[in-house]
Amino acid sequence: MQEAAGILEVFGCVAAFVAADAAAKAADVRIESIDKNKPANADSLPVPLITCLKIRGSVAAVEAAMDAAAEAAKGVTGVITRHIIAAPTEDTEKMLRISAI
């Protein structure tokens, strides 16, 4: 069975780890990876590192985990964006496994 993917971008590594912890406690999901990106405009951002948390599981579990993760990250530095892909394509699956951390 194909798993849904949840992608949550936050400011900083601490927020990503707090979000991952909340996601794992909220639903039956797997943390696929945590990735980082230092954007060109990093100096103008509240935290100069964008971190992407990738969550896998059933659609319902990913939705619940993403809600918990986003709420937890808001209490640290904030959420940039979030998205759930219910049925990732094969090419998207490859990209989901990429991690810089």
Distances (CA, A) of 50 to 1, 25, 82: 31, 23, 13
Looking at residue 47, its pLDDT comes to 65
CATH number, domain containing residue 40: 3.30.70.1710
User: What's the pTM value of the predicted model, to 2 decimals?
Assistant: 0.87
Q: 1 pLDDT exceeds 70?
A: no
Q: 40 pLDDT exceeds 90?
A: no
What is the spatial distance between Cα 9 and Cα 25, in angstroms, rounded to a whole number? Answer: 19
Summarize the confidence of residues 10-35 as an average pLDDT.
94
Summarize the confidence of residues 31-35 as an average pLDDT.
91
Q: Is residue 46 very low, low, confident or very high in pLDDT (cuts 50, 70, 90)?
A: low
What is the spatial distance between Cα 24 and Cα 64, in angstroms, rounded to a whole number? Answer: 10
Instruction: Specify the 3-state DSSP secondary structure of 41.
Output: coil
- Residues 69-101 have pLDDT tens digits of 999 999 999 999 999 999 999 999 888 888 776
Domains held by the chain: number: 1
By residue range, what is the domain housing residue 53?
A: 4-96
Q: Is 31 domain-assigned?
A: yes
Q: Is 101 domain-assigned?
A: no
Q: Is residue 62 very low, low, confident or very high in pLDDT (cuts 50, 70, 90)?
A: very high
Q: Is 40 domain-assigned?
A: yes
